[in-house]
A and B are shown apart, each in its own frame.
Chain A
Amino acid sequence: MTCERFEELLSAYLEGELSGEEKREMDGHLDLCPACAELLSVFRETQEALAGFPELEPGPALMAKLYAIPEKRSLFRTISDFVLRPSLQPVYAAFTVLFIALSFVFFHPQGHGIQKAIDRQLHLGYDHVEKLYAKAGSVTDELSSLKNTVVDSIKTLNPIKGQEDKK
Chain B
Amino acid sequence: MDLNAIVRECLEGRQGAWETLMNTYAKRVFNMAYQFSGSRQEAEDMTQEIFLKLYGSLAKFDFQRNFTAWLLTLAKNHLIDEYRKTKWERTQRDEFDERVLPQASVSGPEESLARKEIRALIWEGLNHLSSEMRMAVILRDLQGRTYEEMAEILGLPLGTVKSRVNRARIALAEVLKEKKGEPS
A: residues with CB less than 8 A from B are 7-8, 10-12, 38-39, 42-43, 45-47, 49-59, 62-63, 65-67, 69-70, 72-73
Contact = CB atoms under 8 A, between A and B. Distances in A.
B184 to A, nearest CB: 17
B172 A46 contact: yes
Interface string B10-34: 0001000011001000110011001
Contact of B122 (A46, A65, A73): A46
B165 interface: yes
Given A8-B166, A55-B27, A65-B48, A49 B115 contact: yes
**A45, A49, A51, A57 pick with most chain B CB within 10 angstroms:** A49
Contact of B47 (A47, A50, A62, A67): A62
Contacts of A56: 30-31, 34, 40, 97, 100
B176 interface: yes
Interface string B151-184: 0000000000011011001101110110010000
A46 B125 CA distance: 10
A42 B115 CA distance: 13
Contacts of B19: 67
Contacts of B88: none
A146 to B, nearest CB: 76
A45 B118 contact: yes
B162 A11 contact: yes
A58 B100 contact: no
B78 interface: no
Interface in B44-100: 44, 47-48, 51-52, 55-56, 97, 100
Contacts of B119: 49, 52-53
B35 interface: yes
13 contacts: A11-B162, A50-B141, A52-B119, A53-B142, A54-B102, A55-B27, A58-B27, A62-B44, A66-B47, A67-B22, A69-B18, A69-B52, A70-B55
Nearest to B99: A54
Contact of B30 (A42, A58, A69, A72): A58
Nearest to B117: A49
B134 to A, nearest CB: 12
A43 B115 contact: no
A70 B122 contact: no
B142 A10 contact: no
A46 B169 contact: yes
Given A49-B122, A58-B27, A43 B13 contact: no
Contacts of B52: 69, 72-73
8 cross-chain pairs, A with B, having the tightest CB-CB distances, nearest first: A11-B166, A54-B100, A50-B141, A58-B30, A43-B173, A42-B173, A46-B173, A49-B118
Interface in B123-166: 123, 137, 141-142, 162-163, 165-166
